[in-house]
A and B are shown apart, each in its own frame.
Chain A
């Protein structure tokens, strides 16, 4: 069965600093990978996704993620964060045979001035 691990439950960072949110997945089949963001009291919004092709994926709001098959990772990065990036970030995986999306436990990014 697929699973997603987000090792960091919280990541505090100062404004304009770089950030990396880690995500590892386990699957024996080819997968699709996603990052979603959830702002307080809102639904989930798709940040970016990896389906195939280039392993570096660029998303909205200046975020990017790199798919690393050998390390089964899909870490999310941003070179300079803003206060408005404070939110919960979820990594998710689905395999190419089903449409079921499995989520990690989330990482709370807290940006301080």
Chain B
């Protein structure tokens, strides 16, 4: 199936741990994103990559580091996890030409205890 797929779907971990979330798209898109959705459902962009190059880097702590090995993959690594990092993280992709909208993955629910 053509889609944006994220793994894992659920992630429960202790404070201070380091974790990664993986994202892959097979839609042939050249731009990928990470969004964070907080407990009030507010969606905020974190990063975007175009052809493996960082394009958008919003005000995100340095503990968050995206990595794009190729234009079909955008992974998110989080160091020293904090309680406030608990959220749903969505990966998305799009064509670089504006106006097409995004295709979203189904999300990764991160719970830090």
Task: Flag if B42 contacts A106 (CB, 8 Å).
Answer: yes
Task: Flag if A94 contacts B98 (CB, 8 Å).
Answer: yes
The digit string for A47-73, where 1 denotes a CB below 8 A from any CB of B, is: 001010000000000000000000000
Q: A-B contact count, CB below 8 Å?
A: 58
- B107 contacts A by Cβ under 8 Å: yes
Task: Flag if B99 contacts A88 (CB, 8 Å).
Answer: no
Q: Which of B31, B41, B105 contacts A88 (CB 8 A)?
A: B41
- A34 contacts B by Cβ under 8 Å: yes
Tell me the minimal C-beta distance from B24 to chain A in angstroms.
Answer: 14
The digit string for A71-104, where 1 denotes a CB below 8 A from any CB of B, is: 0000000000000000010100011111111110
- B64 contacts A by Cβ under 8 Å: no
Interface residues on A, range: 20 to 34
**A99-B98, A101-B102 provided; 11 other pairs, C-beta below 8 A?**
A34-B101, A42-B107, A43-B4, A44-B43, A44-B104, A96-B98, A96-B99, A99-B96, A100-B56, A105-B40, A106-B43
> Can you list 30 residue pairs at the A/B interface with Cβ under 8 Å?
A32-B98, A32-B101, A36-B104, A38-B41, A42-B106, A42-B107, A43-B4, A43-B104, A43-B105, A43-B106, A44-B43, A44-B90, A46-B101, A46-B102, A49-B99, A49-B101, A51-B99, A88-B41, A90-B43, A94-B98, A96-B98, A98-B98, A99-B55, A99-B94, A99-B98, A100-B56, A101-B45, A103-B42, A106-B41, A108-B41
